[in-house]
Structure 1
Amino acid sequence: MDEGARILVAEDDARLAAMLRELLQGEGYEVVIARDGQRALHEGLTQQFDVILLDRGLPVIEGLDVLMRLRAHGVRSPALVLSALGNPSDRVEGLDRGAEDYLSKPFDIDELLARLRALRRRLTSTLHVLQIPGGMLDTASRSVTRSGIDGVVPLTEREGDLLEKLARRPGQVFSRGDLLSSVFADADDAGVVDTYVHYLRKKLGRECVLTVRGIGYRLGRLP
């Protein structure tokens, strides 16, 4: 069972979408359905998902285009493409454009569930280590290992939470209000965000967090 895991199912076939919802909810997933590519893109950019299950033949925006746009915005949730296009060249294209796995329709239910479990295990095994400019953030220990530099830089709980928020969506710009509500929920002054950005820059260098003038902050550019 995958209790608590959230999955985005992007599928335009109403009967198949309903079947997948029932199947996955029975396995303990929290399921969000998107019936076209525009909705899938919106849901993927505005919510956090543990896995994305994606049909290629979506209306409005084709499935692989949705996935590429999500990846361009820093969404790293593992994706399984479920498609009637099952030739080797189709599978290669899907994997090359950002999918972690590819399953052809018609599919075996047990195989689908097994592949989703494998993606969840892969995500869990790497979930606590995130790339940041010039190093890696360990979210479990709230510490940073700098590339080419001996030693580990410890972070405070708030510093670690702020850097993790930015690192999980490296392509996204967060307003000060967004960061205040999600990282500093017990504070009422957005100035605390600026203070902790200053602390992170002092420990890790100014390149670790970029200011987007008039909007807010984002993770610094990755290699």
Structure 2
Amino acid sequence: MPATRSFLARLGLGLLVAGTVEAAPLSIELPAETARLAPSELPGYAIANQKCTLCHSADYIQLQPPNMSQSQWRAEVAKMQHAYGAPVDDPQADAIAAYLADAYSGKPRAKAVATAVATPPAPPAPAIEDARGLLQDNGCLGCHALDHPVVGPAYQAVAARYRNAPNALQSVTQHIRQGGVGRWGQIPMPPFAALTDTQLKALAEFILGQPSP
């Protein structure tokens, strides 16, 4: 019996050591990434380099079936978006699909489509300032009228004074911005420094555009 117990003890110790050795984690060193996406001037190329290679190698794209259409590439990108959570919005996905179709399937129309997707909409034209609305909003009509003096001069009188002045627009714009006293009597005009240059110009042009009294 002692010999049997000694044998079993040695066997158990051996199994324990063997189990410990087998349980040790393996260290695997992957080779450096050498695959690169096919270069292109399309905007989707830069987006794909930034977004797609976060999760997989460029080799993955070459494993896809040849001659995939742009819509098929777009479906693949959509799968990455919705199934795997790729950080790509829809305009970026459209641009990536256009690039993939052009670079890997030879789609000639991809450049035009990608350019249309990537081109931002033109900024809206600047709004034309409503001079009459500015006069109303800033209380100007409480002191001025078009054709007769109130607290200050009529705008027709102002236009007549500056009609032949070489720097009329600049002068009237500055007077509105800074205010002042003494040009039309001793009642001060408050400054309107909060108005933008565009608003000041609109007011000055409106005043100088009044007909002679």
Q: Which has the higher contact order (CA 8 A, sep 6+)?
A: 2
| TM-score > 0.5 by shorter chain | no
- The TM-score with structure 1 as length reference comes to 0.23
Which structure: greater helix fraction?
A: 2
Higher strand share: 1
Larger radius of gyration: 2
TM-score by length of 2: 0.24
